[in-house]
Structure 1
Amino acid sequence: MPIAKSLKKVQAKLGKNGASTGVHPRARKFKQLSRASLREEKLKKQRGERGRTREWQNARLKYMHDLVLVDPTPDRTQLNEDELKALIVKFIGRHDLELARLKEERRPGRPMSSRQDAIQTQQQSENEEFKTGFLVPDLLSPAGYKAFHDWKKDFNGMDSFAMIRMSRDLGLQQVSAADELMEE
């Protein structure tokens, strides 16, 4: 007989008798229940992590989309590598004004505020990612630029354009769909 993996199925198999009388800790049904509940917790955790990753990626793309839309040359069809690197540097430095304000407000000898610490940690991690390969939309090709320019900033539309990795030193690195899924 196959093992029921869903917590709801296991609880339904237990029925009303198992719920009211309880289950012995070494019983087969107890083991089924514990396995199913651990699986439910694991799946819930994975869904949360996937959602946070997508949220973070969506916020990054929205910010870059706003930078692309304010481009002074309306007839542009693509970016070159240096312009894309400059876009990434602007993205990494997006909190520089707030960071400078927080440093100025802090009295000498006092520890950093939690917000300042969070911003600095985020900037350090983004700089490290930029050294190894920063995940950005493919704005180097005309088709990728047009798809990203036409993007409506919705969650489901993120799959309509290709992603690449741009490194500070190594330059362009292509990203396959399998690599992108493994990151999530």
Structure 2
Amino acid sequence: MAKTLEKTRKQIAKKRNGTVAALHEKSRDSRRLHRAQVRDDRLERIAESRRKKDQPLLARVSFFQEFVREHGNKPVGLELVQSKINEFVHQYDEEYEEVKKARRPGRPPSSKEDLLKMKISALEKEQRDGFYIPDLTSEDNIQLLGRWEGSWSYLTNLSWVKISSKGNVKPSSFPPQGL
């Protein structure tokens, strides 16, 4: 991904007639190589944390993309969208119950159980306050969602809404704030 190290190595090799291996450990060129390596590592860590942070939203969009494909890429009503949101929110319930049953009586909950409980409660809170999804009631947005191939940058083309459990639909923007 990051190419600072390769560029720096190429520049130093050109300056030294192709020999990068014969550097003194405290030389300027070796320090340049070290800085480039550290920078590449840092950029890779940042990119990996960003991908990890964006993964739940990408999974959410793919879930609703499959839902739209099941209905023939046609706009759907608010009641059907809310039932699908409810299904998405409660997708971890079975796994949580299994982990809870597997625990021996009197033992503290496992870290997996705690994580599942936090996920479920966060999704339920978001469902009450306003669930963040692409607008599934608009024909144009459905067509755009059908063409989505999994990239983060394409999601800016979609129009987004927040749908509360009471049925209030509020337009929103991408990327989400506070998710």
- Distance (Å, rounded) in 1 between the aligned partners of 2:65 and 2:25: 56
- Cα distance, 1:30 vs structure 2: 4.2
Between 124-133 and 8-17, the greater mean CA deviation after superposition: 124-133
Give 2:149's aligned residue: 154
Give 2:56's aligned residue: 56
Corresponding position: 1:19 with 2:17: no
Does the 8 Å CA contact 1:85/1:166 hold for their aligned counterparts?
A: no
Give 1:180's aligned residue: 175
- Describe the shift of the 1:141–1:111 C-alpha distance in structure 2 as closer, same or farther (beyond 3 A): same
Give 1:35's aligned residue: 35
- Cα distance, 1:92 vs structure 2: 1.4
Between 128-137 and 35-44, the greater mean CA deviation after superposition: 128-137
Does the 8 Å CA contact 1:77/1:146 hold for their aligned counterparts?
A: no
Give 2:45's aligned residue: 45
Identity of aligned residues (%): 21
Q: Under a length normalisation based on structure 1, what TM-score does the superposition of the two structures give?
A: 0.67
- Distance (Å, rounded) in 2 between the aligned partners of 1:79 and 1:23: 67
Aligned partner of 1:100 among 97, 101, 122: 97
- Cα distance, 1:126 vs structure 2: 3.1
Residue type of the alignment partner of 2:158: A
Corresponding position: 1:6 with 2:1: no
- Cα distance, 1:174 vs structure 2: 2.3
- Distance (Å, rounded) in 1 between the aligned partners of 2:152 and 2:33: 39
Count of matched residue positions in the alignment of Structure 1 and Structure 2 = 169
- Describe the shift of the 1:131–1:35 C-alpha distance in structure 2 as closer, same or farther (beyond 3 A): farther
- Cα distance, 1:7 vs structure 2: 1.2
Residue type of the alignment partner of 2:76: Q
Structure 1: gaps (5+ residues): none
- Distance (Å, rounded) in 2 between the aligned partners of 1:157 and 1:35: 30
Does the 8 Å CA contact 1:92/1:123 hold for their aligned counterparts?
A: yes
Corresponding position: 1:168 with 2:167: no
Give 2:114's aligned residue: 117
- Describe the shift of the 1:70–1:12 C-alpha distance in structure 2 as closer, same or farther (beyond 3 A): closer
Residue type of the alignment partner of 1:115: K
Residue type of the alignment partner of 2:58: N
- Cα distance, 1:158 vs structure 2: 8.2
Secondary structure of 2:22's aligned partner:
helix
Alignment of 1:118-133 (within 5 A): 118-130=115-127
Give 2:133's aligned residue: 136
Secondary structure of 1:140's aligned partner:
coil
Structure 2: gaps (5+ residues): none
- Distance (Å, rounded) in 2 between the aligned partners of 1:133 and 1:8: 47
**What is the RMSD of the two structures over their aligned residues, measured on CA atoms?**
3.7
